[in-house]
Amino acid sequence: MAEPIAFTLRLRRYDPESGDAPFWAEHTIELEPHRSILDGILQAKARFDGSIAIRCSCQAAICGSCGVRINGRPGLACNTRLRDALRDAPDGVIEVEPMGNMPVIKDLVVDMDAVHWKKIRRVTPWLVAEEDGLPEREHLVDRDSMVDVTQAMACIQCGACVSDCLSMEADPLFVGPAAAAKAYRFVADPRDTQQLERLRDLAEDPHGIYDCTHCFTCIDACPKGVAPMNQIMRLRRRAADDHGIVDRNNGERHEAAFATLVRDRGLLHEAELLPRSYGGDSWLGKFHPAAGRVLLSSLPVVTKALLRGKVRPRVAVAGERLPREDRRHVQRIFDTVEGRPERLELNLYLSGVDEDGAGAAGRPPEGSETR
């Protein structure tokens, strides 16, 4: 058994009702290195200052109460070990702050109602069943059809992903990673009868699924491996490809135009991608009024780029493309893959990795929960 050693915690203190500015308070606690940040905070509270505020309950990474930022990164205080946090602390002091993107109520307690729960409620977080009144018997589902939603169901509503969502930081109205993952949980549930309506709602909302910048922050933030961003990509896939929802945010058109251009050329052609994303997925897209407006507004930028020689006129008009033979191979890949009766998706959260699988980036995988 390891002996207790000293750790110094630097806690962000703030009481909005006091009228005083936020400040940092340092406390040195003594605990075994494998104990949690939460254990450390509770000891500081017991020994030095009973007024330190933090929410906690289960202390086992299940209740989702103790979301905080540790050394600038979101996570649960109860499942972050002191020794690991110390390793990440640049100056040897473990820094604990309240989560971001949500107002602080006191110290490490944020207002989850004002942001997180409001967004969760916005996606109708319950099953909308078919029956009017009480069904005669229970609704039986095929076991395999529920496997797909288990990753989204692993969410414990701690708010860590919401805390550091970079889209929400720039657009507070963004539905956000946690609510979107919750939405996928019902969109992919075979018992739900409102899947199309849910998808159309989230695709048409200017702050819905197409407002995610694909920054991976929520994937690293989540203590339970939910990978909310991946659930958002699944929502987009279902909305655009399965239901053909052409949204007003250009989400579907952008994706369709991207795929068509790579299919035709093997490479991306930015000068065609933009107008097609606004005006529709064909060469004529740029003559659509919506595309015309955008192109006109971006004219000063494009002109400057042309004048500086950043964008060569030939590239702007004709674009780059692969040699004919390679374009043929790329098109054959599109035909083969898109011609399959069902779209294939390998979710490593569910499938795990082969035992002999060498990890990407030249590193062996660390168990089955590779995200």
Q: Which is nearer to another protein, 135 or 287 (CB)?
A: 287
Give the whole-angstrom CA distance, residue 84 versus residue 89: 9
In whole angstroms, the minimum distance from the beta carbon of 47 to another protein comes to 31
Pick the binder of another protein from 27, 116, 185, 269 (CB under 8 A). Answer: 269
Which residues in 215-234 contact another protein (CB under 8 A)?
A: 215-217, 219-220, 233
Distance of closest approach, residue 61 Cβ to another protein, in angstroms: 18
Considering CB under 8 A, how many residues would be counted as binding another protein? 88
Integer Cα distance of 231 and 222 in angstroms: 13
CA distances in angstroms from 25 to 45, 50, 51, 98, listed in the order given: 12, 13, 12, 13
Site for another protein in 75-114 (CB under 8 A): 87
CB nearer to another protein: pick between 121 and 237: 237
- Contact between 361 and another protein (CB under 8 A)? yes
Q: How near is the Cβ of 45 to another protein at its closest, in Å?
A: 30
CB-CB contact of 179 with 249 (8 Å):
no
Of these, 117, 258, 282, 349, which contacts another protein (CB under 8 A)?
Answer: 258
Asked whether position 320 contacts another protein by CB under 8 A, the answer is: yes
211 binds another protein (CB under 8 A): yes
* Phi, psi for 70 (deg, rounded to 5): -115, 120
Whichever of 24 and 216 has its CB closer to another protein, that residue is 216
Of 235-254, binders to another protein (CB under 8 A) are 236-237, 240-241, 249-251, 254
Q: Which is nearer to another protein, 16 or 206 (CB)?
A: 206
Closer Cβ to another protein, 42 or 115, answer by number: 115
Residues 355 and 123: their CA atoms lie apart, in Å, by 39
Q: Is 5 or 315 the residue whose CB approaches another protein more closely? A: 315
Token pair for residue 87?
A: 């390793």
53 binds another protein (CB under 8 A): no
The tokens describing 84, both together, are 């690991």
End-to-end CA, the chain:
33
Q: Quick check: 154 binds another protein (CB under 8 A)?
A: no
CB of 192 to another protein, least distance (A): 22
Q: Which of 30, 113, 130, 345 binds another protein (CB under 8 A)?
A: 345
Decide if 249 contacts 303 (C-beta within 8 A).
no
Least distance to another protein from the beta carbon of 354, Å? 6
Of 38-46, 117-125, 186-194, 270-278, the segment contacting another protein by CB under 8 A is 270-278
Binding mask 171-210 for another protein (x = CB under 8 A): x--x-------------------------------xx--x
Binders of another protein in range 13-52 (CB under 8 A): none
Closer Cβ to another protein, 125 or 319, answer by number: 319
Stretch that binds another protein, among 6-14, 108-116, 143-151, 162-170 (CB under 8 A): 162-170
Site string for another protein, 279-318 (x = CB under 8 A): -------------------x-xx--xx--xxxxx--x---
